[in-house]
Amino acid sequence: MTAHLLLYFVSAGLFVFFVYAALASYREKEYLAFRRFLFSGLVVPLPFLALALFGGPAFFSWGLVGLLFLTAGLFFLPGRKRVREEGIRPRGKIDERDTMFSREKLEQGTERYRDYYNRHPEHQAGDDALRQNPGLLSEQAAYYQRDVFTAARANFDLIEKNRPFVNGEAAPDKQPVDPQLFSRYLKELVVKYGAVSAGITPLHDYHLYSHRGRQHNYGEAVHNEHDYALAFTVEMDHDYLRNAPYGKAVLESSRQYLRSGMLALWIAEIIRSLGYPARAHIDGEYEVVCPLVARDAGLGEIGRMGLLMTPELGPRVRIAVVTTSMPLMPDEREEDPTMIDFCIRCKKCAVVCPSRAIPFDDRTRVDGVLRWQIDQQACFTTWTRFGTDCARCMSVCPYSHPDTPLHNLVRYGIKNSDAFRKMAVKMDDFVYGRKPKPLQLPKV
């Protein structure tokens, strides 16, 4: 093959790739990406096409083609950067009474209020201030949209009505099960019925809350003596999440809490029917810290925004957990330091966070573990003003792009090449913008 003929092939290949990327972006309603990919498809092939049409020294043509392939190859050559974990097990347990979902409900003048702020006076002023805001799904909230908020509230109401079913009596006769076969069966079953990923981990002490913090169980010590935890994720709709921080995001969030909760209730009932204790952990009825359980079950890493980052969809998931004493086969967790390394470089979630709750700095040691610590009071205060659970951080995360060949190619590069990770953040900023605008969906 002559150098000129190769140049024709290269220019045509580049044009086809960028047009494909542009059309894929258009289908995803990523209109800025569509325009930039289309522009790149018209501009990038030009030097190769000009050399093919008007000629030039053969060595120059071969050199340009070689440089292109060398550059592309470098991005996908193995070269993983190790990020030190220095132990992934936190010291101690999280108290659910310290979460904003609990603190928001404390009422001045009550014994709970006095007890909590006697122990944590540093939270009192900020918490009192946020209680003056309209609140989640409130008619006075900044992004109130009647029909959307009504649908979201209905999802949460259904979850509430299913609370009595998270636990129950196991059948009197235990059926023999093969731990390996039944573990695989449960994971395949939950994925078949809607989960994206599923994994099993031994239930560790640090997975459990020390005390419950919701209104109906405030202050109860958590006693869960189960041996294993099955964690799974469900996907949040890409378009609705990109509407964040507007109403469709909280509607989708509530829908997936309900969906994952129903799956967890079903799996727990299956296990109990075979004679083994099991408990579903769903929204408002958690005894476990779901992201920690899911991480140890091999479903992802904890990223800069403090959420589980899955390799398939980043943080664009909801998690549910079932704990049980049924003998199961745990999955071996394989650390993914490339995901942490990417979070160290990216910082896109911190840039767009309207409450400035996500740190820009590197990880710090919290309870013996290197991690990012968000300002949950600042984050939740924004929720109570917006009336939604914001989700801007989740919506702009480069890992949140759809599970498609184009984005999976980028994920492959990020996972396998340090050189590619260095470029991936700049590429995402160029294609989608450093501060992507929310997707405006039709009102209902």
In a domain, 402, yes or no: no
Distances (CA, A) of 12 to 67, 199, 387, 431: 17, 44, 50, 21
Beta bridge partners, 232, equal 198, 320
In a domain, 406, yes or no: no
pLDDT tens, position by position, 122-148: 999 999 999 999 999 999 999 999 999
Asked whether the predicted pLDDT for residue 365 surpasses 90, the reply is: no
In a domain, 47, yes or no: no
Element (H, E) at 423: helix 418-432
Are 407 and 380 in contact, with CB atoms under 8 Å apart?
A: no
Element (H, E) at 279: strand 278-281
pLDDT tens, position by position, 177-192: 999 999 999 999 999 9
Spell out the residues 6+ positions from residue 106 whose beta carbon is closer than 8 angstroms to its own: 112, 113, 116, 117, 127
CA distance 170 to 50: 74
In eight-state DSSP terms, residue 169 is P
In a domain, 241, yes or no: yes
Q: What is the DSSP string of 323-362?
A: EE-S---PPPP---HHHHHHHHHH-HHHHH-TT--S--S-
Are 174 and 291 in contact, with CB atoms under 8 Å apart?
A: no
In a domain, 130, yes or no: yes
Q: Which residue range forms the structural domain that includes residue 240?
A: 96-395
In a domain, 384, yes or no: yes
CA distance 164 to 238: 32
Residue 203: left if φ>0, alpha if ψ -120 to 50, beta else—which one?
A: beta
Report the number of distinct structural domains present in the chain.
1
**Mean of pLDDT over the chain:** 92
pLDDT at residue 91, as a whole number: 78
CA distance 131 to 256: 27
DSSP 3-state of 82: coil
In a domain, 73, yes or no: no
Q: Is 111 exposed, middle or buried (0-12, 13-18, 19+ CB in 10 A)?
A: exposed
pLDDT tens, position by position, 99-108: 999 999 999 9
Higher pLDDT, 88 or 232: 232
In a domain, 255, yes or no: yes
Phi then psi for 21, rounded to 5 degrees?
A: -65, -35
Question: Per-residue pLDDT averaged across 423-438, rounded?
Answer: 93
pLDDT at residue 79, as a whole number: 63
pLDDT at residue 89, as a whole number: 75
Asked whether the predicted pLDDT for residue 299 surpasses 90, the reply is: yes
Share of the chain above pLDDT 70, in %: 93
